[in-house]
Structure 1
Amino acid sequence: MAKKTKAIDTVQVARKLEAARKLNWVCYGGLLLLFAVWNLFLDGSVKWWLLQTIPLLLVLPGLLKQNQRSYLWLCFILLLYITAGIVDVMMPTRGWQHGVLAVLSLILFVSSMMSSRWQVQLQNTNT
């Protein structure tokens, strides 16, 4: 029995990919800005700022080139931020920064995952 394949609307997938990439950059910049404000101006240190931003900056060259693997690596890195944000949100003595960290990380994780998926779909239809 032959497997039935569904035709992909490349225009719709390209629109979704573009929207997801824009959302990626908004959340990515938001995380970097959050870490800068949190650690350099509120109650952190330069060491914590470097520790939090370097993992995100490792995938930046690939994201600028729109490399599909960089989106996947970003998802793996974001799992650490999501875990830390959610654990800290549950503690009553923590500030608003942890909630923002959890939300931005979750949104960035989903949009990066979907960007990777839609990029592969578009590449497969073009070949």
Structure 2
Amino acid sequence: MSIPLTTKLHSARVLNWLCYCGLLLLFVVRNLFLPGGSLALWLVQTVPLLLVLPGLLKRHFRAYLWLCFILLLYITNGALHVTMPGRDWQHGILLVLSLTLFFSAMMTSRWQRMQ
């Protein structure tokens, strides 16, 4: 038995928003509340995500595609730092959230085009 497309799309959108907000929250905690962070680094990390926010709010499928391209930078950064010895827990969370958001955004854009 197949799951209806509208159910898949709704679940993917919920997962998108959870991971998107999780990434923004992670950057706030890392850069504004933990030692070693800075306001400039927080801006560098959050501005690319905020660029696609208007399109995500309008549920435009191209915004999800652009989000996937942007997330490749975060995935690369997370994978690089996770494999280095002595790194903090934040890099693992960054990698998991980025990968989850990448795949859910990719499937959201695909399912929106099919609908």
* TM range, smaller chain: over 0.9
When the two chains are superposed, the root-mean-square deviation of aligned CA atoms in Å is 1.0
Which runs of at least 4 in structure 1 moved beyond 4 Å after TM superposition?
Answer: none
Deviation at 1:85, TM superposition (A): 0.1
Deviation at 1:20, TM superposition (A): 0.1
Structure 1's unaligned 5+ residue stretches are 1-8, 123-127
Which one-letter code corresponds to 1:95 in the other structure?
D
Aligned residue number for residue 64 of structure 2:
71
Say which of 8, 18, 30 aligns to 1:16: 8
Quick one: distance in 1 between partners of 2:18 and 2:53? 14
Which one-letter code corresponds to 1:27 in the other structure?
C
Deviation at 1:94, TM superposition (A): 1.0
Quick one: distance in 2 between partners of 1:57 and 1:94? 27
Quick one: distance in 1 between partners of 2:84 and 2:100? 22
Say which of 23, 30, 37 aligns to 2:22: 30
Deviation at 1:44, TM superposition (A): 0.5
Quick one: distance in 2 between partners of 1:41 and 1:59? 25
Deviation at 1:49, TM superposition (A): 0.2
> Is 1:62 the counterpart of 2:72 in the alignment?
no
Say which of 102, 105, 109 aligns to 1:112: 105
SS in 1 for 2:37: coil
Aligned residue number for residue 84 of structure 1:
77
Deviation at 1:93, TM superposition (A): 1.8
Structure 2's unaligned 5+ residue stretches are none
Q: Percent identity?
A: 65
Which one-letter code corresponds to 2:15 in the other structure?
L
SS in 2 for 1:70: helix
Alignment coverage as a number of residue pairs: 113
Which one-letter code corresponds to 1:36 in the other structure?
V
